[in-house]
Amino acid sequence: MQNFVLHNTTKIIFGRDTVRQIGPETAAFGKKALLVYGKSNIKKSGMYDQVMTSLNETGVTVVEHGGVKSNPVLSHVRTGIECAKQNKVDVVVAVGGGSVLDSAKAIAAGAVVDHDVWKFFIGKKSVKNALPLTTVLTLAASGSEMNGGMVVTNEETNQKYGVGNKNLNPRVSILDPTATFTVPPDYTAYGAVDAIAHILEYYFTGQDPETPVQDRFMEGLVINIMESCNRVLADPKNFNARADLMWCATLALNGWTGAGLGMVGFPMHMIEHSLSALYDVPHGAGLSVVVPGWMTYQAQQNPEKLAQFAERVFNITTGSPSDKAAEGVKSLKNWFDNINSPTSLAMLGVPDLDIPVIAENGLGLAKIWRLREYNQERIESILKLCA
């Protein structure tokens, strides 16, 4: 196990009927808030009314900035930054899933600087400060509610980039599983895939060869995510299933999974970001295509860790390491199929002929994320296994 520092500053308020606490928690950071949310879902579900009532009762003045789309875009973030500056807001409140939370983080960071917010994403500037952020989570997926990561697409350049900084951690995140009751089956599945992909990035790319505590922790999370997702799809209003899925997704990317692993990379997300930047596919749907392809490629290079994953998660105990690894990939891909998440580029409507373009688009993020071994040829090879 490598040396590590684990310092997560986000306060989590978890459970039924906790959304009403967003007002008092937000008021601790200021009296004027920018409310960031998506399109119409939170109004249809009644979440908007709950949040507004709580904020109003605690004397928080609200400036609204709705309209965040799945795969959030830079232009909408820039508009939000201008709105925050013009109205001199003290705090940002995000109500939604990862796209909304990521947009809110970018707005919170951009509102306190004079330069363009995109400079954070391309490594030209570092986040030194940000407006305080509070959140109400409505989708179990990204883990953005308890980490300092944010992802935004520059629609002018077709670049979907992500960056992390401790100053972007939400101050408070409210996780009420009932807020996810209305999430449809497809996005429930995509969220589960996203959470699993976060775990697998750490599990398969960590530097240290001996991390038994972290391995068992991550394997258990993957098993629980699959089981809870199945339960939710069978009964969307099963509170305990929604709660398990929500908490697992948070734990997948809040710093605990990566502790002690040394340097890690996020190559599967790097490749998927290129896909969703160019084709605007749902992030989780793109990952359920990329993950099995990347794992198949990795198994050809070093099957031992994939064989361990297959043994412990899918109880595959016979055959060589290569055989076990292949069966493990097949089992995970079958589960993606079973929850109706796409497992091929064709299912996303992406033609094989576009593979070189997708790979070339991914090179910029590979450079920023220091994934030097991921050149054009390697990314193309992985994408061919996703066809």
267: three-class secondary structure by DSSP:
helix
Q: Are 19 and 176 in contact (CB under 8 A)?
A: yes
Tell me what pLDDT residue 147 has.
98
Residue-range domain boundaries for the chain: 11-179, 184-384
**Superfamily for the 184-384 domain:** Dehydroquinate synthase-like - alpha domain (1.20.1090.10)
The pLDDT-based confidence of 215 (bands split at 50, 70, 90) is very high
Task: For 118-139, write each residue's pLDDT tens digit.
Answer: 999 999 999 999 999 999 999 9
Q: Distances in Å between the alpha carbon of 260 and those of 24, 196, 313, 385? A: 36, 19, 21, 31
Tell me what pLDDT residue 41 has.
86
Fold of 11-179: Rossmann fold (3.40.50)
Which amino acid, 67? G
Look at residue 40 and tell me whether its pLDDT is greater than 90: no
Q: What is the DSSP letter of 154?
A: E
Distance CA 283, CA 267 (A): 14
Distance CA 130, CA 367 (A): 26
Q: Are 254 and 221 in contact (CB under 8 A)?
A: no
Closest CA to 330 of 298, 295, 301: 295
Helix (H) or strand (E) holding 141: none
Beta-strand pair 91-96/32-37: parallel
Task: For 252-298, write each residue's pLDDT tens digit.
Answer: 999 999 999 999 999 999 999 999 999 999 999 999 999 999 999 99
- Rounded to two decimals, the pTM is 0.96
- For 351-384, b where at least 16 C-beta lie within 10 A, e where not — what string? eeeebeebbebbbbbbebbebeebeeebbeebbe
Beta bridge partners of 34: 63, 92
What residues contact 327, with CB distance under 8 A and at least 6 apart? 310, 314, 316, 319
